[in-house]
Amino acid sequence: MPSAQQIVALIKSHVRGDEERFYSLVLQLAAEEAKRGHAVVAEQLRELLEQAKSPRPRVVYSHGPVPVPSVRSDLATILSVHYPKTLLSNMVLDDDLKTRLSRIVHEQRQRGRLKSHGLNARRKLLLTGPPGTGKTMTASALAGELDLPLFSVLLHGILTKFMGEAAAKLRLIFDAMIEMRGVYLFDEIDALGAKRDSDNDVGEARRILNSFLQFLEQDHSDAIIVATTNHESLLDRALFRRFQAILKYQLPSAALTIEALQMRLQSFDVSDVDWQTTAIEARGLSHADIMAAAEDAARNAILDRGPKILDSDLHGAIAARRNQSHVDSNG
Ligand SMILES: Nc1ncnc2c1ncn2[C@@H]1O[C@H](COP(=O)(O)OP(=O)(O)O)[C@@H](O)[C@H]1O
Ligand SMILES: [Mg+2]
């Protein structure tokens, strides 16, 4: 057994971080134990020493440089946060949108380089277009591509619960942007301005929209601000000028409809599907409807026969979706 003195010396060298001394003390111990005939203990000590000397495994962080933030309690009712895994490659986008979104991601990744030349990466984006074309999903994809948290602004929390203090709540959000870089999503922003003409409380709605425009204009944070609207025509022209890029979403073409169906049905046998006629059937449906119809068709196929999709599955599911969205938009 090692003496009390040896133990103290061992601990001392460890506390001081003196690895050389620590190793030589352990070697000494191993030699003494061997001399006393304790071959097993001596071998154990030598082995431990070998392990200690080999390079340590590096700590691997699962996230990027931004730590997982939590939302302060005063923000919890108006801001929710998560880290999306969505990427732009998970989306079906026309060439123009694909190019423009990739460009924005590229600018953000290179924002240091741009800054050193007195330039700013664009970060105030307005996405317009019909429902179900991927505007909300784009905010997730931008966060996913840049490994940033997505902060979703709960507009209804601002408008209904805190009607009188909406501007104060908006300020909290714009303050948060300075503290926490991320993608800040103001989804369906028309809620802020749309009712202005019909609403009784015209003054209040006007004030909220004006504060939003003011905050947007004054904002010099590094945050990426994504606002979306399904009703471009309801928005004030003044709002458009405050954004650095306006991205227009459209219902998918036949080619993109096929791309969407094929993306969703990747893991199924689609060798018998006639894509052209299916795309014609799906004309006028949004990406969201098409994805959902593909899923309906796959569910039916599995229950009826197995993972082989037929035209009849798809055409039936598409017709059902079309009826569903008519009901939704008339209701
Ligand atoms: N362009 C797209 N590419 C792939 N999937 C899409 C696309 N657009 C919509 N989707 C699917 O439909 C869902 C709803 O779309 P969303 O982004 O909420 O549409 P929007 O915000 O334009 O109304 C998405 O979560 C996704 O599953
Ligand atoms: Mg949306």
pLDDT digits (tens, 9 = 90+) for 11-55: 888 888 777 888 888 888 888 888 888 888 888 888 887 777 665
Interatomic CA distance for residues 143 and 11, integer angstroms = 48
Q: Rounded CA gap, 15 and 20, in Å?
A: 13
Of 76, 73, 146, 80, nearest to 111 by C-alpha is 146
Which two structure tokens, joined as six digits, stand for 162? 């805190």
Look up residue 81 and give its two tokens: 């946060």
The answer to whether 297 touches 314, Cβ cutoff 8 Å, is: yes
Nearest 5°: CA angle at 230, between 295 and 244? Answer: 115
The CATH classification of domain 79-248, taken from the options 3.10.20.600, 3.40.50.300, 3.40.50.1220, 3.30.70.960: 3.40.50.300
Side chain identity, residue 274: D
> pLDDT class for 9, splitting at 50, 70, 90?
confident
pLDDT at 215: 94
Ligand nearest to the CA of 251: 1
Cα 291 to ligand 1 centroid, rounded to whole Å:
8
Whether the full predicted model's pTM is greater than 0.95, yes or no, is no
**What is the location of CATH 1.10.8.60 in the chain?**
254-330
Query: Ligand 1 centre from 256 Cα, in Å?
Result: 13
What atom of ligand 1 comes closest to residue 138's alpha carbon? 17
Beta-strand ranges (E) seen in the chain are 79-82, 124-128, 150-153, 183-186, 224-229, 245-248
CA distance readout (Å), 108 to 118, 183, 314: 14, 11, 40
Site to substitute for ligand 1 among 85, 137, 142, most atoms within 8 A of C-beta: 137
| Cα-to-centroid distance, 132 and ligand 1 (Å) | 5
CA-252 nearest atom, ligand 1: 1
Query: What are 163-192's pLDDT values in tens digits?
Result: 667 888 899 999 999 999 999 999 998 777
Q: Best of 152, 155, 232, 287 to mutate for ligand 1, by most ligand atoms within 8 A of CB?
A: 287
CATH 3.40.50.300 residue window(s) in the chain: 79-248
What is the second-level CATH architecture of the domain 254-330?
A: Orthogonal Bundle (1.10)
